[in-house]
């Protein structure tokens, strides 16, 4: 742990930190379990680069999820430009049917928490990528427009800046963008509060089998976009999806729309991690030719 941060935390907590253990916690921050002299534990994230807005956005996202009143999130103890101190959650077994059922139902209830328009009053981050939440006037009320402009086109612009684009990719994406309004027609719903990045690494199950959501990239959008991320890399059981459907049934044809929503995250992974995701992106795009 950074010595300067340790001094600041000890002053804040009015207690000595006697132990600091490195734990897993994402690819953009150094994550640690810290122990106070009294035996209390906290979760500490420190940035390996200077971007104070990332932790500010994470704290805001946790606060919005908490205010929904339907999901558990770690309490923010303190944040600085280069650190975020959170409540420590003692984790238990992840794959029990009982905990996955709770997670599915709570995730559905989160999506029943609605906003007035798509997006959010502030931009935030998807991993280390800037996430644009400020739609055009049309996009604030029309989900297809928001998704095209603030998700697919935004990522495509980054792909071109990073020189990962090819003529094949550009042609296929232009074709899909033209078709998205028709593909999504008939699925209109009020904007739901989304976690924004719910893969298996962004939820915890505690020792009481209760789920917790972490590392959000929140905004108000279509709940299908949130659910599609859960199936992109696995880690969610059939019990999770059954519980979700029993609480908030999906509209017919979701399986045909799901890859479009996954495309946003795959484009982001292309921008973050390079061309190993290119083939998967092309495969999805060719489904809609």
May I ask the CATH architecture of the domain 3-87?
2-Layer Sandwich (3.30)
Confidence of residue 3 (pLDDT cuts 50, 70, 90): confident
pLDDT of amino acid 95:
82
Helices (H), 112-253: 137-141, 143-146, 153-161, 167-184, 223-232, 238-247
Catalytic positions are 197
Domain ranges of the chain: 3-87, 97-286
pLDDT of amino acid 30:
85
What are the start-end ranges of the E strands in the chain?
17-22, 29-36, 41-47, 76-79, 83-87, 124-126, 129-131, 192-194, 203-205, 211-213, 219-221
User: Residue 28 to residues 31, 45, 167: CA-CA distances in angstroms?
Assistant: 9, 9, 31
Confidence of residue 24 (pLDDT cuts 50, 70, 90): confident
| Superfamily the domain 97-286 falls into | Aminoglycoside phosphotransferase (APH), C-terminal lobe (3.90.1200.10)
Q: 89 and 212 in contact (C-beta within 8 Å)?
A: yes
pLDDT tens-digit map of 272-281: 999 999 999 9
pLDDT tens-digit map of 206-227: 999 999 999 999 999 999 999 9
Confidence of residue 28 (pLDDT cuts 50, 70, 90): low
């Amino acid at each position: 742990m950074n010595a300067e941060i340790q001094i600041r935390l000890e002053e804040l907590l009015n207690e000595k930190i006697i132990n600091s253990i490195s734990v897993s916690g994402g690819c953009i921050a150094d994550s640690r379990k810290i122990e106070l002299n009294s035996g209390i534990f906290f979760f500490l994230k420190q940035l390996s680069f200077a971007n104070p807005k990332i932790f500010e956005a994470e704290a805001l996202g946790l606060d919005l999820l908490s205010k929904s009143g339907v999901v558990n999130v770690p309490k923010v103890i303190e944040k600085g430009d280069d650190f975020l101190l959170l409540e420590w959650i003692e984790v238990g077994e992840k794959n029990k049917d009982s905990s996955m059922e709770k997670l599915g139902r709570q995730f559905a209830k989160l999506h029943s928490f609605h906003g007035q328009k798509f997006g959010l009053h502030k931009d935030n981050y998807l991993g280390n990528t800037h996430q644009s939440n400020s739609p055009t006037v049309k996009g604030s009320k029309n989900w297809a427009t928001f998704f095209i402009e603030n998700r697919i086109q935004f990522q495509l612009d980054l792909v071109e800046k990073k020189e990962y684009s090819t003529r094949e990719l550009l042609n296929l994406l232009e074709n899909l963008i033209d078709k998205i309004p028709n593909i999504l027609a008939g699925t209109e719903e009020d904007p739901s509060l989304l976690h924004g990045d719910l893969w298996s690494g962004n939820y915890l199950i505690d020792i009481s089998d209760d789920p917790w959501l972490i590392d959000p990239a929140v905004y108000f959008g279509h709940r299908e976009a949130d659910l599609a991320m859960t199936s992109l890399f696995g880690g969610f059981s059939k019990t999770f999806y059954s519980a979700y459907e029993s609480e908030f049934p999906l509209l017919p044809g979701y399986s045909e729309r799901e890859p479009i929503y996954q495309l946003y995250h795959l484009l982001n992974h292309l921008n973050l991690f390079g061309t190993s995701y290119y083939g998967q992106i092309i495969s999805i795009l060719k489904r809609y030719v």
